[in-house]
A and B are shown apart, each in its own frame.
Chain A
Amino acid sequence: MTPFPIRLVCGGLVAGALTILGGCVTSTVQEIRETNTGILPTDSIVVLGRRSRPSNAETELDFVSCVSKSVGNGRDKLNVIGEQTFLDAMFPWFEPRTAPVNARDLPRLIGSAPLAARMSELGLRYVVWIDGATRRTEQAGSLTCTASPAGAGCFGFLTWENDSSYEASIWDVRSGTSAGKISSDAVGTSYMPAVIVPLPFIAPVRSSACSTMGDQLKVFLQQKS
């Protein structure tokens, strides 16, 4: 047998294993609708990570940007204003010290002439606040690596479970009300067996929660329920 088919078979086995083992993620998404929604092609939304004080919890920046990208891409894409662009344009009214805590604070903001003018300039229709985080909930196993003049290698088995739990609160800026909430949860187990070379099979927990959240947001805002 020539070396090429052996490489092909090995590559196929590794790809297959990655697909099977790396894909162990369970996702669930739920939504609560409070008002009717709808969005015009000229309207924009912004996705913000919750950073209000005195809470110490902050949503990961890359999750917020992932949801922004997910909503801003694809067949039903919406106009999305970048988080930092929005924070700078509305400064200082969405900083941790001053940001509205709930939708009841919206009328006060919309009542300010400079803010209303800036929101209109940006075409802002919805503000989406994302709350939550990805945590490692379980881990087990051990892995040892050694190096010597003769060579190096690892032996062992590691496994860990990650849990992503995020909630998006959607505020309608035009009506000054809360439009609803979407929660996205994903749980997945990752493995890393090592016989000389460690082979990580990572469950894409956070990215799964992100794409589920992004898809559901598009459906929610375009009222395709």
Chain B
Amino acid sequence: MTEPVWRTTAWLVVVCLWLTGCGTARVSVPQQFPVPLVERIPLAMGVELNEALKTWAHTEKLESGREWQIELGSAQEPLFRSLLTGMFDRMTVLEGTPIGDAAVDGVLVPAIEELQFSTPDQTRTEYFEVWIRYRFQLLDRNGTLVAEWPLTAYGQSNARNFGGMQGQEPALQAAALAACRDAMAFFIVQFHQIPAVQTWLTAQQGARS
């Protein structure tokens, strides 16, 4: 091998190593979520998904020098469509429509407050872990606040399930997806247990009957 060719090859190897080891690893959550199998609440629910939620992403540089970006925003609309389609008789995504004109009984306003994640290198385990902290507001048909509550969802994924040449991104993606599914499951379990929501549901269903 002549010297210029050898040097070029060496530089290419260095650049490749740098790109794979130190570049930004991007992870986005798949956009398919199952419709929950629950008894539907006989109400029409709207959901307001603002721009901040739909473009939400978390970027963090770890001590190892590697930067991670977890993109959650694009998954939020399919997530809440599936969730509310399963939970309520009718659901509508309010796209700029004023609440009073939307012909809904209530409006859910979700927001992501924070995301944290950990890698196996940090925790000395085999798991990637993701925590997502949501905050929900429930508004009545006039836009008045009925209830507000936080929800922390958790997802983990065993790195050993994604061995070989797949890299770490699929394992973190699986943990983020698990956290999104956990958010849906927790929302379903929690929704009926919030006192202000219980009162509101009883009043709405009483008004209908």
The chain A residues found within 8 Å of chain B, CB to CB, are 53, 56, 58, 60-62, 87-93, 95-98, 112-115, 118
Query: Which one of B34, B37, B127 has the highest number of Cβ atoms from chain A below 10 Å of its Cβ?
Result: B37
A-B contacts besides A58-B156, A60-B158, 6 pairs, CB < 8 Å = A58-B158, A62-B161, A91-B35, A92-B188, A93-B37, A115-B37
Q: Which residues of B contact A96 (CB under 8 A)?
A: 178, 182
A91 adjacent to B37 (CB under 8 Å) = yes
Q: Cβ of A97 and Cβ of B39 under 8 Å apart? A: no
Question: B8-45 toward A: CB 8 Å interface, digit per residue (1/0)?
Answer: 00000000000000000000000000111111000000
A-contacting residues of B (Cβ < 8 Å)? 34-39, 125, 127, 154, 156, 158, 160-161, 178, 181-182, 184-186, 188-189
Q: How far is the CB of A204 from chain B (nearest CB, A)?
A: 16
A217 to chain B, nearest CB (A): 22
A101 and B13 CA atoms in complex are apart in Å by 50
Chain A residues positioned under 8 Å from B185 (CB to CB): 91-92, 95, 97-98
* Known A56-B127, A113-B39; contact A98-B189, beta-carbon cutoff 8 A: yes
Q: Please give, as numbers and ranges, the residues of chain A lying within 8 Å of B188 by CB-CB distance.
A: 92
Chain A residue contacts of B182, Cβ below 8 A: 95-97
A61 near B189: Cβ-Cβ < 8 Å: no
Q: Which residue of A lies closest to B162 (CB)?
A: A61
Query: Most chain-B CB neighbours within 10 Å: which of A58, A91, A93, A118?
Result: A91
Smallest distance from the beta carbon of B172 to chain A beta carbons, Å?
Answer: 15
The answer for the CA separation of A97 and B156 in the assembled complex, in Å, is 12
Please, how many angstroms separate the alpha-carbon atoms of A115 and B160 in the complex?
A: 32
| Contact residues in A for B158 (Cβ distance below 8 Å) | 58, 60-61
CB distance from B32 to the nearest CB of A (A): 9
CB-CB under 8 A from B178, the residues of chain A are 96
Residue of B37, B161, B189 near A90 (CB, 8 A) is B37
**Bound-state Cα–Cα, A44 to B127, Å:** 32
| Selected contact of B161 from candidates A53, A60, A91, A112, CB within 8 Å | A60
